[in-house]
């Protein structure tokens, strides 16, 4: 019994952004199956809480989003780290785990809690002078200089992080009726650029507007646009293309929906961020990126393997995109993949070395 108790650890996971929710669902399930206890915190930003509720996760809500202003983002990170220290004092986790949550890393450093940092974009800003215990990243990020960022080095996994949860996906066609879509429509799912991110390039916003203009003038196209926030992007879409919104050529869902299911029922996907592009690539759906920040190794890997097409200019919008129906067959090779097993092996290595 004592040896079992020693092997069982309390792991704190922070859901800091919307993509973290589906990523950690299978990881949490596997860790709990191994006897570990999970404490979840979630930030009230974008669709984090809605997705966590959809997956029936038990979490503590801590902090919010502070907008695009750089000073407020820094102060918000520091304040949320302070808020998260209450979680550490309350639960005393053996180890913390996140996919790039800076407040978690900072709070863990204050209390000397070992930290596991997952990431898939090497151009993201790391906290100076603070070294997580290990890093876990896709093997396409082949940068040995990053290893020194971590106390015990960098571990890699095959493919992309979306391979962790995509294999469990099962399509549900009821989403078409919910969004008032028809099988005959050419369905285009669009994710605007992350214009509040530190790596944002305004060229992405211009490409987004060009994409919507071109698609709106193309017969048979129905766009499902997923704004990143209510106050700016959603209002901008309604104000810029009011007629198309009224005619439902542009559809903005009124509640959190299953993003993978929407992608699967789309004929193509266009996104100014990373996760939706990669989810489409993992599902085998035609996908086009209007991201104009520094291109990460994962996206380069997807471009080289012809699973992602970059839209870099206004001319590319009209010349590169294929606006056609695709065969809706579940033959995408999304079966069991190694990514989840390799990530769990890396996590378990840290747990095994804890006292």
pLDDT tens per residue across span 21-65: 999 999 999 999 999 999 999 999 888 999 999 999 999 999 988
Q: In this structure, are 179 and 271 located in the same domain? A: yes
Is the same domain home to 157 and 29?
Answer: yes
301 neighbors 139 (Cβ within 8 angstroms): no
Note whether residue 326 is domain-resident.
Answer: no
Mean pLDDT value across residues 187-203: 83
Instruction: Provide the residue range defining the domain that includes 57.
Output: 2-166+337-352
CA quadruple 147, 153, 158, 163: dihedral, nearest 10: -100
Q: Are residues 157 and 298 in the same domain?
A: no
Kindly state whether residues 266 and 285 are assigned to the same domain.
yes
What's the pLDDT at 274?
85
In this structure, the answer to whether residues 155 and 182 fall within a common structural domain is no
Q: Which residues pair with 269 in a beta bridge?
A: 189, 287
At residue 142 the predicted structure's pLDDT band, cuts being 50, 70 and 90, is: confident
Give, in degrees to the nearest 5, the angle at Cα 321 between 320 and 326. 135
Question: Are both 228 and 185 inside the same structural domain?
Answer: yes
CATH of residue 65: 3.40.50.2000
In a domain, 303, yes or no: yes
Asked whether residue 223 falls in the same domain as residue 157, the answer is: no
- Over residues 248-272, the pLDDT tens digits come to 999 999 888 889 999 999 999 999 9
Burial class (CB within 10 angstroms; exposed 0-12, middle 13-18, buried 19+) of 277: buried
Tally the domains of the chain.
Answer: 2
Residue 143 pLDDT exceeds 90: no
Domain co-membership, 118 together with 98: yes
Interior CA angle at 171 toward 166 and 175, to 5°? 120
Distances (CA, A) of 331 to 286, 304, 305, 328, 335: 14, 22, 18, 9, 10
Q: What b/e readout covers 148-170, taking b as 16+ CB neighbours within 10 angstroms?
A: ebbebebbebebbbbbbbbbebe
């Amino acid at each position: 019994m004592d040896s079992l108790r020693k092997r069982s650890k309390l792991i704190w996971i922070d859901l800091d952004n919307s993509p973290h929710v589906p990523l950690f669902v299978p990881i949490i399930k596997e860790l709990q199956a191994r006897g570990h206890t999970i404490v979840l915190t979630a930030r009230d930003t974008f669709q984090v809480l809605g997705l966590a509720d959809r997956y029936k996760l038990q979490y503590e809500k801590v902090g919010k989003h502070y907008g695009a202003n750089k000073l407020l983002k820094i102060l918000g990170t520091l304040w949320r780290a302070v808020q998260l220290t209450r979680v550490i004092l309350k639960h005393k986790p053996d180890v913390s785990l996140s996919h790039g949550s800076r407040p978690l890393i900072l709070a863990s450093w204050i209390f000397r809690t070992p930290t596991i940092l997952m990431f898939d974009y090497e151009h993201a800003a790391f906290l100076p002078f603070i070294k997580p215990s290990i890093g876990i990243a896709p093997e396409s990020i082949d940068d040995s200089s990053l290893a020194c960022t971590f106390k015990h080095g960098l571990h890699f996994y095959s493919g992309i992080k979306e391979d962790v949860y995509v294999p469990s996906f099962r399509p549900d066609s009821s989403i078409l009726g919910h969004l008032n879509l028809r099988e005959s429509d050419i369905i285009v799912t669009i994710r605007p650029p992350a214009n509040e991110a530190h790596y944002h390039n305004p060229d992405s916003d211009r490409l987004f507007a060009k994409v919507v203009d071109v698609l709106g003038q193309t017969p048979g196209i129905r766009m499902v646009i997923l704004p990143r926030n209510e106050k700016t992007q959603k209002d901008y879409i309604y104000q810029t293309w009011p007629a198309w919104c009224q005619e439902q050529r542009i559809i903005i869902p009124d509640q959190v929906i299953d993003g993978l299911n929407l992608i699967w029922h789309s004929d193509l996907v266009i996104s100014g961020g990373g996760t939706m592009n990669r989810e489409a690539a993992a599902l085998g759906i035609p996908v086009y990126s209007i991201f104009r920040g520094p291109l990460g190794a994962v996206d380069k890997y997807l471009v080289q393997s012809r699973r992602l097409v970059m839209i870099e200019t206004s001319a590319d919008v009209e010349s590169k995109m294929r606006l056609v129906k695709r065969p809706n067959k579940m033959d995408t090779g999304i079966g069991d993949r190694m990514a989840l097993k390799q990530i769990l092996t890396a996590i378990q290595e840290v747990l095994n070395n804890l006292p």
